[in-house]
Amino acid sequence: MHLLLLGRGKTGALVAEIARQRGHQITVLGAAENPQGSALTEDKLQGIDAVIDFTTPHAVLPHIEACVRAKKNMVVGTTGWYSEIPRVQKLVEAQGGALVFGANFSVGVNLFFEIARTAAAALQHQYQGQIFERHHIHKKDAPSGTAVALRNVIRESSGSELEITSFREGEVVGLHELTLDSPADKIYLCHDAKSRHGFAEGAVRAAEWLAAKRGFFDFKDVWRQL
C-alpha cells in the first residue's frame, strides 16, 4: 500500500517506521507542507491508498473533509474533535468512504477498556469511581481521548458518569487509571504505555484492515478483527 502520513510528531515518525517495516510505501506531510489541508486535493492524492492522521485537533477536521471528498480511506489517530463525530459519520457514509478513528490504537488499551467494562458493575455495589490520566506536557487536549473513551465505556456499562482528572508532566507517554473505591476495599485498574509503538502499529494495521471496507468505524469495535 501507499500510505500518506499527516504529522511529523513522535507518534507519526514511529508510524512511518512501522509502515516501512510492514512493506508499505510511505509519504509524510507536515503542517508546513499542508497548510489548511491544501495538499489534500484529488489530484495530489492520486496513487494514495490510505491517509493516516496524527496531527492536532484544529487541523484534523479539514483533513478528514478533504480526504473524504477525494474518496481516500482514512485512519484518524488525532483526538479532540469527537463532538463532530455525528457530522463526520454522515459525511463519510454519504460519500461512500471508509474511515476508522480511535482514541487509542493500542491493543493493550482496548483490552483495558474491556476489563473496565466488566469492572463497572462495582458502581452498582456502593463503589465510587474516578479516572486519572497523565500525558507529556506537549499534548494538546485534556482530558485525553483515551480517558474520554474510558468514561464512555463506564457510562454505557453502568449508567454512571465518572470524573476525569488530567495531569500534564514531563515526557509521560500515556498512563490511564480507573479507581473503584468502597468502604471495604479499593480496586485499581491501570494501563501504562511504555512507548508509542503500540499506538503506531495499531494505526498501520487499521489502514490495512480498512482497505476492503466502506463505512465509519471506531477502532475499539474492530481491533479483534485485525
Q: Which residues are catalytic?
A: 135, 139
Judge whether 63 and 6 are in contact, CB under 8 Å: yes
What phi and psi, each to the nearest 5 degrees, are found at residue 3? Answer: -105, 140
If you search the block for the grid coordinates 481516500, which residue do you land on?
72
CA 71 to chain centre: 21
The 3-state secondary structure of 110-143 reads HHHHHHHHHHHHHHHCCCEEEEEEEECCCCCCCC
Starting at the earlier edge strand, list the strands of the sheet with 215-218.
25-29, 2-6, 50-53, 73-76, 98-101, 215-218
| CA max distance for the chain | 64
